[in-house]
């Protein structure tokens, strides 16, 4: 088994779609970013790459590259998963915390979990999506923060089950 951790934060601004875990959430503001700004998928990609010792999202999908301007972050996830597969690894457990004072995300947790399970090819039971506010700390005012921890299996783990 290997463990990986990912963190990301993006600012909310008017005139952008709000995409979290690949799910479009109706809200008058969205996240600033070179891509679609999906802070959750960015944290998940960094957790996966970290577990595999394969660097970070900025290295593989630079925000200076025109190829990734306006890109769906699900593309980054697909490519990160491919890199893991090539290294003989696969995610077996994922735990996410999203921190935002607004919008309230409780009602979207189930949809995000389902979408992550589909994209990652994992059972929903092995994925957790938690949502918190920062309780009036300036931390998440006008921003969304995501943290992800992933457990990754190596082929030798599968034989041990
Ligand atoms: Mg990011």
Q: How many A from CA of 160 to the centre of ligand 1?
A: 36
User: Alpha-carbon distance 59 to 106, whole Å?
Assistant: 32
Q: How many A from CA of 95 to the centre of ligand 1?
A: 18
User: Alpha-carbon distance 6 to 150, whole Å?
Assistant: 9
Model pLDDT, residue 160: 60
Q: How many A from CA of 74 to the centre of ligand 1?
A: 12
Model pLDDT, residue 26: 96
Model pLDDT, residue 157: 73
Q: How many A from CA of 154 to the centre of ligand 1?
A: 27
Token pair for 15:
């005139």
Q: How many A from CA of 21 to the centre of ligand 1?
A: 12
Model pLDDT, residue 136: 64
Rounded to two decimals, what is the model's pTM?
Answer: 0.94
Q: What separation, in Å, do the N-terminal and C-terminal C-alpha atoms of the chain show? A: 12
Block means of pLDDT (10 residues each) for the chain, 161 residues, are 97 96 97 94 98 96 85 95 96 97 95 98 98 75 94 78 55
Model pLDDT, residue 65: 85
């Amino acid at each position: 088994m290997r463990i990986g951790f990912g963190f990301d934060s993006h600012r909310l601004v008017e005139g952008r779609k709000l995409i979290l875990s690949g799910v479009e959430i109706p809200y008058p503001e969205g996240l600033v970013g070179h891509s679609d700004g999906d802070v959750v998928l960015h944290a998940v990609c960094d957790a996966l790459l970290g577990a595999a010792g394969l660097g970070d999202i900025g290295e593989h999908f630079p925000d200076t590259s025109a190829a990734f301007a306006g890109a769906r972050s699900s593309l980054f996830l697909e490519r990160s998963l491919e890199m893991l597969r090539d290294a003989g690894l696969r995610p077996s457990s994922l735990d996410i915390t999203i921190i935002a004072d607004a919008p309230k995300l409780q009602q979207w947790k189930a949809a995000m979990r389902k979408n992550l399970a589909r994209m990652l090819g994992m059972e929903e039971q092995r994925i957790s999506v938690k949502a918190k506010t920062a309780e009036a700390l300036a931390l998440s005012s006008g921003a969304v923060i995501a943290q992800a921890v992933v457990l990754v299996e190596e082929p030798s783990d599968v034989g041990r089950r």
